[in-house]
Amino acid sequence: MEPLSYARTGVDLTHAESVKARIARTIEQTFTSDVLRPLGLFGGIFAAPGTAGELALVATIDSVGTKILVANAWGAHEGIGIDLVHHSANDLLACGATPLFFLDYFAAARLDDRVLEELVRGMTRACRDLGCALIGGETAQLPGIYAPNTYDLAGCMVGVVPTQHIVDGSRIVPGDLVLGLPSNGLHTNGYSLARASLRLTGEPDRDRAILEEVPSWSDRPLAELLLVPHRCYLPLLREAIGSHGLHGMAHITGGGLVDNIARIVPAGCRVEIDARTWDIPDIFREIQRRGAIDTSEMFRVFNMGIGFVVIGEADFIADLQSRLGEGWVIGQVVAAQAPRVVLRYGAEDGAVLTS
């Protein structure tokens, strides 16, 4: 069997990255002195008006992706609403910000009340738990743009951070340690590859039969394992925001550990991750096995069990780890030139992924 890859499922990450780099140069023409950081971090950072530079607003826009197609096949959408809010809050958190408000965008060829109400219930629950107000949204019926019987859900979250507590990785120095916090599943990334591997093609009866399978290593059906809502790290890390020893944070989304950590590593530093320091959760092994996917491709596409990363002084990281009672020291920062991130996932010399 030829190994599955993300590009073969119709999602070409490398090409997407080169296009994004080119359009970034165009977009930066709109930057004023109120834009406090360049593009590429987990949120856009903007001087909060009327605060004389004391506060910054952080904003992120994102969508849930093809996890929605699994939710369609299983007929359960509340978790998708939670996914979107938690994903957004994690992006803000990675910049040191806490959420103020959220707006959602729902679009489909045709409005399905039940689906929309489940999504809204999920978003409402997640927002309320985080103290984030859902202040607006748009519901669009766009026949001809969307495939039948599905939808897309995107959202924009705006948060706030004292300007001096903005976390952008610039304070990362050699000697810092990397704490990896456990994910609770795929979160919201890699579903096009996961679906291809599990042979979820969109044919309702066949998809449902596959999703009902209970893997030998679990007591839950595949559907539930795939649809666990994206974990939110804000409750865990809220108190740590503003700590002097906290130098950088990364939300592990599309692009995996390597590409997401690379977004915040300053010149002269390299983050070395050793993937043998934690156990890869079974769901990833199941997806890899069924699709005969290369391990390097797995680490490029999925979070592989680490949903959020905190980088900081050794003492701070040790203290944080003991206070949280979870997470693993998965790597360290060394003085080196490019690549900014090196991930070793096996004993052999070739078992290395770089940014």
Give the footprint of a second copy on residues 55-114 (CB under 8 A). Answer: 55, 57, 59-63, 65-66, 68-69, 100-101, 103-105, 107, 109-111, 113
User: In the bound complex, what is the minimum distance in angstroms from residue 57's beta carbon to a second copy?
Assistant: 7
> Of 19, 156, 141, which is closest to residue 84 (Cα–Cα)?
156
Would you list the DSSP string of 35-69?
B-S-TTSSSEEEEPTTSTTSEEEEEEEEE-TTHHH
Would you list the DSSP string of 301-312?
HS-TTEEEEEEE
Q: Select the span of 21-29, 220-228, 325-333, 334-342 touching a second copy (CB under 8 A).
A: 21-29
12 lies in the site for a second copy, by CB under 8 A: yes
Interface residue with a second copy, options 135, 209, 314, 335 (CB under 8 A)? 135
Interface residue with a second copy, options 39, 318, 336, 351 (CB under 8 A)? 39
User: In the bound complex, what is the minimum distance in angstroms from residue 142's beta carbon to a second copy?
Assistant: 6
Q: Nearer to a second copy by C-beta: 57 or 298? A: 57
26 lies in the site for a second copy, by CB under 8 A: yes
Q: How far apart are CA 188 and CA 292, in angstroms?
A: 21
Total residue length of the chain: 355
CB 202 within 8 A of CB 81: no
User: In the bound complex, what is the minimum distance in angstroms from residue 168's beta carbon to a second copy?
Assistant: 14
Interface residue with a second copy, options 142, 209, 292, 334 (CB under 8 A)? 142
Q: How many residues bind a second copy (CB under 8 A)?
A: 85
Interface residue with a second copy, options 133, 209, 214, 314 (CB under 8 A)? 133
Contacts of 320 (CB under 8 A, 6+ apart): 179, 240, 310, 312, 327
Interface residue with a second copy, options 31, 75, 212, 314 (CB under 8 A)? 31
Interface residue with a second copy, options 174, 202, 235, 346 (CB under 8 A)? 202
Strand 306-312: give its sheet, edge to edge.
246-251, 306-312, 177-182, 328-335, 269-274, 341-344, 352-354
Q: Are strands 98-108 and 133-141 parallel, antiparallel or unpaired?
A: parallel
Q: Nearer to a second copy by C-beta: 206 or 289? A: 206
Question: Is there a cis peptide before residue 339, judged by omega within 30 degrees of 0?
Answer: yes
Binding mask 143-162 for a second copy (x = CB under 8 A): xxxxx--xxx-xxx-x-x--
User: In the bound complex, what is the minimum distance in angstroms from residue 2's beta carbon to a second copy?
Assistant: 19
Q: Nearer to a second copy by C-beta: 53 or 346? A: 53
Interface residue with a second copy, options 1, 2, 14, 29 (CB under 8 A)? 29
At 308, give phi and psi (nearest 5°).
-155, 145
Q: Which residue has the tokens 């910000």?
A: 97
The tally of CA atoms less than 13 A away on the side-chain side of residue 178 is 34
127 lies in the site for a second copy, by CB under 8 A: yes
At 143, give phi and psi (nearest 5°).
-60, 135
